[in-house]
């Protein structure tokens, strides 16, 4: 019996990943439900975490490197009194403390963790060390030393405090490890802690209020119903200027060629899109033709260089 052809659908799934499943396993559920399209995800969530996992289908996979650059927001709970190998509930206890910070002490400590801060990632992370993942080395019992690196914490608020736990919400930039944030905050407060609950509430334009559950893909077999929840490829570029192209310009872009706007009406097209043709700076733009996404491009002045061309 011949195998059914793969689905060539392109776009995004705003997936709400549940606790207890890895990001790759969640991705495979979606892949099987949609008849094995080309697929990828933007930003791994640990099995003990839940929340937004953007899934890219088909041509949208070309935008994954841009999607992982987006800001993220998290709601998380820390449990005071224990430090664990993984900095979350999965790890083994390696240190304890009887100290329990008050809500006032916690709130007073938060400004030191807002803005640009230096952060050492957890040793149980996917960062590569000498060609191997840090978590692989840590699980093998090898000593892992990761260097601190700058991350951006835009907002960090205490939501609720009890004797043994505290719940926070933070909005942060790329590369931030919330597990490290909890670990370092505890050290600042003279205690130990690990994350006992973690929910990613948003990634760029994707948020929980319109996310699709994984059970939907497990339980739905109707192709049209499944595909009706796929967002357009350009959904992750909602804040990027859009430059409409002529037929001739679109042909050049499809071949990966640079185009230059010389005539005044063409330059005015850039201005109308919100770009700065007189500025000598790189700006990201979405190129379109007949209302359909064509490519993302670097725009410098009046020169447009395609970066990723979509076959839609």
Q: Picking from 143-157, 172-186, 247-261, which range would have the lowest pLDDT averaged per residue?
A: 143-157
The whole-number average pLDDT for the span 265-290 is 90
Catalytic positions, written as ranges: 46
Residue closest to 51 by CA, chosen among 78, 33, 73, 70: 73
pLDDT of residue 1: 44
pLDDT of residue 139: 74
Tens of pLDDT along 191-244?
999 999 999 999 999 999 999 999 999 999 999 999 999 999 999 998 899 999
Tens of pLDDT along 92-120?
999 999 999 999 999 999 999 999 999 98
Looking at per-residue confidence, does 85 or 79 come out higher? 79
Looking at per-residue confidence, does 8 or 74 come out higher? 74
For residue 143, is pLDDT > 90? no
- What is the distance in angstroms between the CA of the first residue and the CA of the last residue of the chain? 30
Tens of pLDDT along 55-69?
999 999 999 998 888
User: Whole-number mean pLDDT of the chain?
Assistant: 92
301 half-sphere exposure, CB direction, 13 A CA radius: 6
**Cα–chain center distance at 89:** 22
Give the count of beta carbons closer than 10 Å to the beta carbon of residue 218.
Answer: 12
Place of tokens 């996310």: 211
Confidence of residue 25 (pLDDT cuts 50, 70, 90): very high
What are residue 309's DSSP bridge partners? 295
Domains of the chain and CATH, by start: 11-65+207-236 (3.30.2350.10), 72-203 (3.30.2350.10), 240-309 (2.30.130.10)
């Amino acid at each position: 019996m011949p195998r059914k052809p793969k689905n060539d659908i392109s776009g995004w799934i705003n997936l709400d990943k549940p606790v207890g499943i890895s990001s790759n396993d969640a991705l495979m559920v979606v892949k099987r439900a949609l008849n094995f399209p080309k697929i990828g995800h933007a930003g791994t969530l640990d099995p003990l975490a839940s929340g937004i996992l953007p899934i890219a289908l088909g041509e949208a996979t070309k935008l994954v490197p841009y999607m992982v650059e987006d800001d993220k927001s998290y709601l998380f709970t820390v449990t005071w009194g224990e430090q664990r190998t993984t900095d979350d509930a999965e790890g083994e206890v390696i240190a304890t403390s009887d100290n329990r910070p008050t809500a006032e002490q916690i709130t007073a400590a938060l400004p030191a963790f807002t803005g640009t801060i230096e952060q050492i990632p957890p040793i149980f992370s996917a960062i590569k060390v000498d060609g191997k993942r840090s978590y692989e080395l840590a699980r093998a019992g090898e000593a892992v030393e990761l260097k601190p690196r700058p991350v951006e914490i835009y907002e960090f608020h205490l939501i609720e405090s009890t004797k043994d736990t505290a719940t926070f919400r933070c909005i942060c930039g790329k590369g931030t490890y919330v597990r490290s944030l909890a670990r370092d905050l505890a050290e600042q407060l003279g205690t130990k802690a690990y994350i006992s609950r973690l929910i990613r509430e948003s990634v760029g334009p994707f948020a929980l209020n319109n996310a699709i559950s994984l059970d939907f893909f497990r339980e739905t077999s109707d192709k049209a119903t499944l595909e009706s929840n796929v967002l357009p490829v350009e959904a992750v570029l909602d804040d990027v200027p859009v430059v409409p192209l002529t037929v001739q310009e679109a042909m050049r872009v499809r071949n990966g060629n640079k185009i230059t706007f010389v005539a005044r009406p063409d330059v005015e097209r850039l201005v109308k899109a919100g770009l700065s043709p007189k500025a000598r700076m790189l700006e990201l733009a979405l190129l379109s033709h007949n209302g359909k996404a064509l490519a993302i491009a670097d725009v410098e002045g009046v020169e447009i260089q395609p970066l990723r061309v979509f076959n839609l």
